[in-house]
Every structure is written in structure tokens, then in C-alpha cells.
């Protein structure tokens, strides 16, 4: 990200020069916005995609976790027994993907997707840097509305920063956080972008979100405009950050206390909205419950997830899952009936249809609930942890557990996360990374050649490779070691 600059065109989008030029804006004396109305109009070109899934934002990608993105991180995790399903994936009846697609995904060789995450997420950070900087210079703007817009931008920027940190920074190397620059470089021509310490990245995230939360408490939302600028969402987000940070090289003794505090606030009053039957669960998943307190995003690409999860009409179907995972469900747990047909992945999951679109909820209350249960446990409140876990199980019709403590209780919380977030974007991969669990050992054959992929807890696979173009453009950046690209 050396000599980074972006030229913004008012109301018309923007022009990007290369994947390494996203964190700095614009040439001196060139402004993207002159008034608060200008700022809101430019930002709306990005926000609109969160309210209308058919809209391509003026910057970034939509959905914010793309189909390729989810399929890649699914392929990096252990939800599906890929080795046992190779005959299905490479069957002549599967006309949705070629052998190269599966080779790249299952051998963790999908550089196009990791590159896209890096470049597109930094693209949005640069865009928001520009608008945040220029919002500080607006004269005569309505103070309350300006604070609402600034709060909205701070939470969105934090989302992309956090995801890049989760994906590309190792858990145990404090020096290898992501590169980060939060301004538009109006005083300098170029910037040498080194990797920040992870603690610095988390400091930025927490500082920005606490500022956004204070702004919300001061002025409240603009109901017709605000999307991420929501008290419950910000509290949920802070809980996620403290929870993830607490097992990293940047951990502090207060992390779980803070995760507990924000998760408790995020779930306050949500029980009414959390689905408690199969029908309610499916309605939430397909966004038919408009009162459900989370941000819903979906793609519009018909069949775009079919190559990974399977569906009818010639796509992979009846996929095998690990037997221990299937056996972890109670007979009364309605998620078991939704996820599986027999002991195989149901053709209707994960989208409750055979269309296989990308569907996701950001800041879902279920995530805050399970963070709260774990935070109670980590803070020595075993009774509260067990009660919260059992309350959550009750939402899903699952059987309560009793007498658990220590590692057994933590293991049960982790199992509940796996069941709740089955095929949910990046969650299982991030759990494998954060908890340092699971061995992946795959012996696969592609293009008449045998390949072995072995992933051990905490190894290099849990910090995605920095794009080659970034390493070439930016001599100050340190790569994530261990990755090699397979040439077929």
C-alpha cells in the first residue's frame, strides 16, 4: 500500500488504480463532498446495497461475504467430509463446477478469493477514511445528523478492519496485525504501510466502536437511513471483538469482562425475537421475520452456492458430514431436522431452498448469547454459564445439560456454536482458529495426481496468504509464512 491514492467522483463512484492503493485519498484540493447532503448521498451509494440486495454498491462487494468467500472458508473448515464426498463433487452429473474449482477450494489454493477479500475490504476502508476525514471539515451541517452519519461510517469501517484482522493476522504473533491507516493522507504524498501490532488494531476497533456507541446514546439513529448505527448491533460487535481478542496475542485480563458486559447488553430484550420453532428458524433465515434484530444480506445469484453445498437439478447432493458432528444433535433439536436428511446434508440447507443463494445475518443475537455463555465461564461464573447455555439450547428444542464444569463445559459451548452456525459464513473456520481445535487431514486426487492437506491447530493455515501483488507493491509488509501456490 505504498503511495496510495484514490480519486473519488462526486455521486458517480470512484476509480481505483490497483489493489494496493486503497487507504489514502485524494490529491490535495480535490474534495469528494462539500455538504452533509453530499456526504449522505455518496455514502448512500454504498449503504443502499444493505437494503436492496440487487444493488451493486459504488465501492466494495455485496454481499459483504460473497459466495466465493463463504465457499472458500467452508473448504478450510470441517463441517463437511470433503474426502468422503469427492465422488459426488467430481461426478459427471455435477455441471456447476469444474475440477479446478474443487482442487483450489479443497487444497486451500484459492488465491483469487483471498486476494479479492484483501483488496475489496481495503477498498471500502479507504472510501470510508475519505468520508470520515471530510465529515470533520463540513461547515453548517446539522450537528445531530452529522454525528449519526459519522457513527454509521465508524461501525462499517470497523467491520472491514475486524474481518481483515481475523482472516490475515495470526492469533499468536503480536507483530503481525494487518496494515492500517485511518486517514486520507492529505499531508503526505505516499505512505509506507507496515503491519501494525495486533493490539494497535484492536485498540482502533474498540475506540471507534465506543465512540460510535457514545454518538448513538447522544443522538439516536435516523430510522430511514441508519443500518449499522444501532445500539444493539454496536454492543454485539464490541462483544465479538473482546471475545476474539481474549484468545489472541493481544489479550488482556479484562477482555472477558468486557465481552460479558457488551454481550449481556446485546441480548437484553431479544428473547421474544429469537426463533423457537422450526418454522420460526427458517423464517428468520430467509428474512421473513422483519423484527429479527440483525442486519440481513443475501446474494441474488441463482445457484451460486450449489458447487459447495449441493442441491437438486444435477448439483452435488446428500453430502456426508463428520459422524461425530451429526451425533452431537439431540433427537429433539429441530436444527437436526433442518440441516439433515437422514445423516446427510439436506438439499435445502443452508438457504432453505434449492436455489443456493448466499444468506447471512450480521450482529445476530444468537452470537451474543453464546459469547455471553462463554464469557461467564471464563470469568468463573460457572452457574451463569451453564444456565445461559441451557437457555439457548431451549430455544432450539435441545435437551438441557447438567453438572458440567471446567473444560467439559467449555467444550459444550463450542459444540453449541458449531451446531448453531453450521454453514454460516466464516464462523466455523474462525472457531477452529480461535480455539485451536481440530485436525484436518485430506488425501485427495485431482488431475490424476494425489495431494495431501494437513492442518493442525494453530498452524499457518489460519492466517490467510497476503496477495502477491501486495507483497510486490509494498516492500514494507511481512508475508504470512508457510503458503505455497499449487500449479496444476
Examine residue 63 and say whether the peptide bond preceding it is cis (omega within 30 degrees of 0).
Answer: yes
Question: Can you tell me the mean pLDDT for 349-358?
Answer: 86
Higher per-residue pLDDT: 252 or 5:
252
Give the global pTM: 0.94
- Specify the pLDDT at position 409: 98
Write out pLDDT tens, residues 182-193. 987 555 445 668
Q: Which of 13-17, 51-55, 107-111, 173-177 is predicted with the least confidence, judged by mean pLDDT? A: 13-17
3-state secondary structure 280-306: HHHHHHCCCCCCCCCEEEECCCCCCCH
Residue 303, pLDDT > 90, answer no
The answer to whether the Cα torsion of 109, 111, 113, 117 is positive or negative is positive
41: pLDDT confidence band, cut at 50, 70 and 90? Answer: very high
CATH architecture of 1-62+110-203+458-488: Alpha Horseshoe (1.25)
Per-residue exposure over 461-480, b if at least 16 CB sit within 10 Å of its own CB, e if not: bbbbbbbeebeebbeebeeb
Q: Output the furthest CA–CA distance in the chain (Å, rounded).
A: 68
Looking at the chain, the whole-number percentage of residues with pLDDT higher than 90 is 80
Distance CA 57, CA 67 (A): 16
Helix (H) or strand (E) holding 112: helix 111-135
Q: What does DSSP assign to residue 447?
A: T
pLDDT at 311: 72
Q: What percent of the chain has pLDDT over 70?
A: 91
| pLDDT value of residue 310 | 82
pLDDT tens per residue, range 405-414:
999 999 999 9
**How far is it, in rounded angstroms, from Cα 37 to Cα 229?**
18
Q: Could you give the CA distance from residue 244 to residue 198 in angstroms, rounded to a whole number?
A: 12
209 burial (CB, 10 Å; 0-12 / 13-18 / 19+) is buried
What integer pLDDT is reported at residue 25 of this predicted model? 43
Residue ranges of domains in the chain: 1-62+110-203+458-488, 70-101+230-438
Per-residue pLDDT tens digits for 127-179: 999 999 999 999 899 999 999 999 999 999 999 999 999 999 999 999 999 99
pLDDT of residue 404: 97
Angle 168-174-177 from CA coordinates, rounded to 5°: 30
Phi, psi of 415 (to 5 degrees): -60, -40
Distance in angstroms (rounded) separating the CA atoms of residues 20 and 226: 30
Average pLDDT of the residues of the chain: 91
CATH number attached to the domain at 70-101+230-438: 1.25.40.390
Domains 1-62+110-203+458-488 and 70-101+230-438 share a fold: yes
Angle at 339 between CA 338 and CA 345, to 5 degrees: 135
Amino acid at each position: 500500500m505504498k503511495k496510495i491514492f484514490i480519486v473519488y467522483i462526486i455521486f458517480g463512484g470512484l476509480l481505483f488504480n490497483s489493489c494496493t492503493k486503497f487507504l489514502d485519498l485524494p490529491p490535495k484540493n480535490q474534495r469528494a463532498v462539500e455538504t452533509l447532503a453530499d456526504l449522505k448521498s455518496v455514502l448512500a451509494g454504498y449503504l443502499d446495497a444493505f437494503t436492496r440486495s440487487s444493488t451493486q454498491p459504488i465501492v466494495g462487494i455485496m454481499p459483504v461475504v460473497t459466495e466465493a468467500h463463504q465457499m472458500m472458508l467452508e473448504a478450510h473448515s470441517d463441517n463437511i467430509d470433503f474426502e468422503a464426498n469427492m465422488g459426488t463433487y467430481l461426478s459427471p452429473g455435477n455441471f456447476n463446477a469444474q475440477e479446478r474449482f474443487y482442487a483450489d477450494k479443497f487444497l486451500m489454493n484459492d488465491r483469487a478469493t483471498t486476494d479479492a477479500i484483501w483488496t475489496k475490504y481495503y477498498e471500502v476502508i479507504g472510501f470510508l477514511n475519505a468520508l470520515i476525514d471530510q465529515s470533520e471539515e463540513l461547515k453548517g451541517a446539522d450537528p445531530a445528523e452529522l454525528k449519526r452519519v459519522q457513527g454509521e461510517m465508524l461501525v462499517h469501517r470497523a467491520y472491514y478492519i475486524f474481518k481483515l484482522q481475523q482472516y490475515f493476522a495470526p492469533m499468536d504473533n503480536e507483530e503481525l496485525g494487518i496494515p492500517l491507516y485511518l486517514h486520507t493522507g492529505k499531508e503526505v504524498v505516499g505512505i509506507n504501510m507496515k503491519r501494525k501490532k495486533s493490539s494497535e488494531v484492536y485498540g482502533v476497533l474498540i475506540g471507534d466502536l465506543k465512540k460510535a456507541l457514545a454518538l448513538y446514546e447522544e443522538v439516536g439513529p435516523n430510522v430511514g437511513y441508519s443500518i449499522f448505527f444501532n445500539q444493539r448491533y454496536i454492543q454485539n460487535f464490541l462483544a465479538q471483538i473482546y471475545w476474539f481478542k481474549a484468545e489472541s496475542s493481544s489479550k488482556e485480563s479484562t477482555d472477558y469482562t468486557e465481552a460479558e458486559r457488551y454481550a449481556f447488553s446485546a441480548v437484553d430484550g431479544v428473547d421474544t425475537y429469537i426463533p423457537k420453532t422450526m418454522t420460526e428458524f427458517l423464517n428468520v433465515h430467509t428474512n421473513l421475520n422483519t423484527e429479527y434484530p440483525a442486519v440481513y444480506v443475501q446474494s441474488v445469484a441463482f445457484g451460486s452456492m450449489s458447487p459447495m453445498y449441493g442441491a437438486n437439478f444435477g448439483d452435488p447432493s446428500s453430502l456426508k458430514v463428520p459422524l461425530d458432528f451429526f451425533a452431537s444433535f439431540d433427537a429433539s433439536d429441530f436444527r437436526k431436522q433442518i440441516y439433515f436428511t437422514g445423516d446427510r446434508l439436506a438439499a435445502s440447507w443452508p438457504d432453505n431452498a434449492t436455489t443456493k443463494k448466499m444468506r447471512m445475518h450480521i450482529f445476530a443475537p444468537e452470537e451474543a448469547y453464546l459469547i455471553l455463555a462463554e464469557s461467564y465461564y471464563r470469568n468463573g461464573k460457572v452457574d451463569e454459564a451453564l444456565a445461559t447455555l441451557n437457555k439457548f439450547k431451549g430455544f432450539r428444542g435441545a435437551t438441557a445439560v447438567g453438572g458440567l464444569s471446567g473444560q467439559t463445559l467449555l467444550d459444550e459451548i463450542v459444540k453449541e456454536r458449531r451446531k448453531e452456525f453450521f454453514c454460516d459464513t466464516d464462523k466455523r473456520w474462525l472457531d477452529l482458529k480461535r480455539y485451536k481445535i481440530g485436525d484436518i487431514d485430506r488425501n485427495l486426487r485431482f488431475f490424476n495426481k494425489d495431494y495431501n492437506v494437513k492442518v493442525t491447530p494453530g498452524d499457518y493455515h489460519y492466517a490467510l496468504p497476503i496477495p502477491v501483488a501486495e507483497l510486490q507493491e509494498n516492500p514494507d509488509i511481512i508475508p504470512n509464512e508457510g503458503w505455497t501456490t499449487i500449479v496444476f
